[in-house]
């Protein structure tokens, strides 16, 4: 293994995910929407892992998928994800959970890791592979979100400081990450931003974009999302 990709995921339980969608859609439909996006991002990661070039020996894939799951006491649903390595999320804010996942992966080897969640179903395999390629030259590879956070963050373990001192869940996450990189002398490369899906208007805009997409995966996602909110 020469790199890892880690999906930060929650069990799609009613009332625990996509809480900002609950007032409009209710807790169960919000959970179903999250589950549909989670499934989409899972497929993206699996495609990226299959497409990633082999390591120097040509024998093993260079990109290994991990699923950092919450709640940490409920491992069973994730053990059915063939080819994935489940790791429990640690308690605390998002920074603590990302740090914990990084430490778990680091036990396998000091490899670069790309983290992402299920909030951006428009991320594609090329985006993930691009981040890995960027990390051959940079300490940190960030793809911002349009709301001021980021949809993916790739880093070497030596750059773990980027998970500290951040006001998570706010519009300044990406800006603060840039500042931490500057303070610690970490090289940062940024890619074009994408949209997170957190609010009802985010979902409305996503459905419009999906209707115009030629990506079969995204077309399927639109059908799934429309059936949930119908």
Max Cα separation, the chain?
Answer: 53
Domain covering 3-222, topology: Spore Coat Polysaccharide Biosynthesis Protein SpsA; Chain A (3.90.550)
C-alpha triplet 194, 199, 205: angle, nearest 5°: 55
In DSSP terms, 153 is beta-bridged to 115, 142
3-state DSSP call for residue 18?
coil
Q: Residue 197: which of 152, 146, 162, 142 has the closest Cα?
A: 146
Q: Give the pLDDT mean for 186-193.
A: 98
Q: Residue 90: which of 107, 78, 106, 73 has the closest Cα?
A: 73
Question: Which pLDDT belongs to residue 52?
Answer: 81
Q: Give the pLDDT mean for 9-38.
A: 97
Q: How confident is the model at residue 110 (pLDDT cuts 50, 70, 90)?
A: confident
pLDDT digits (tens, 9 = 90+) for 60-103: 458 999 999 999 999 999 999 999 999 999 999 999 999 999 99
Tokens 């069973």 sit on residue? 76
| Domain boundaries, given as residue ranges, for the chain | 3-222
Percent helix / strand / coil, the chain, rounded to 5: 45, 20, 35
Question: Which pLDDT belongs to residue 27?
Answer: 98
Instruction: Evaluate if residue 59 carries a pLDDT over 50.
Output: no
What are the DSSP calls for 128-166, one per residue?
A: HHHHHHHTTT-SEEEEEBTTSSEEEEEE-GGGGGGGSS-
Global pTM value: 0.94
Q: Give the pLDDT mean for 20-33.
A: 98
Least confident range of 44-53, 95-104, 195-204: 44-53
């Amino acid at each position: 293994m020469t790199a890892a990709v880690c999906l930060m995921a929650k069990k799609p339980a009613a009332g625990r995910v996509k809480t900002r969608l609950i007032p409009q859609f209710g807790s169960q439909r919000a959970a179903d929407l999250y589950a549909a996006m989670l499934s989409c991002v899972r497929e993206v990661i699996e495609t990226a892992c299959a497409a990633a070039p082999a390591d120097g020996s040509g024998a093993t894939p260079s990109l290994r998928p991990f699923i950092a799951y919450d709640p940490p006491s409920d491992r069973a649903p994730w053990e059915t994800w063939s080819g994935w390595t489940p790791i429990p999320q640690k308690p605390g804010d998002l920074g603590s959970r990302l740090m914990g996942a990084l430490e778990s992966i680091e036990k396998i080897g000091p490899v670069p890791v790309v983290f992402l969640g299920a909030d951006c179903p428009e991320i594609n395999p090329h985006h993930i592979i691009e981040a890995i390629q960027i990390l051959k030259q940079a300490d940190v590879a960030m793809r911002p979100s349009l709301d001021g956070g980021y949809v993916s963050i790739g880093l070497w373990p030596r750059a773990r400081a980027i998970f500290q001192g951040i006001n998570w869940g706010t519009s300044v996450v990406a800006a603060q990450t840039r500042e931490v990189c500057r303070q610690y002398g970490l090289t940062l490369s940024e890619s074009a931003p994408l949209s997170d899906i957190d609010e009802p208007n985010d979902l409305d805009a996503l459905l419009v974009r999906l209707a115009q997409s030629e990506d079969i995966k995204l077309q399927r996602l639109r059908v799934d999302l429309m059936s949930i909110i119908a």
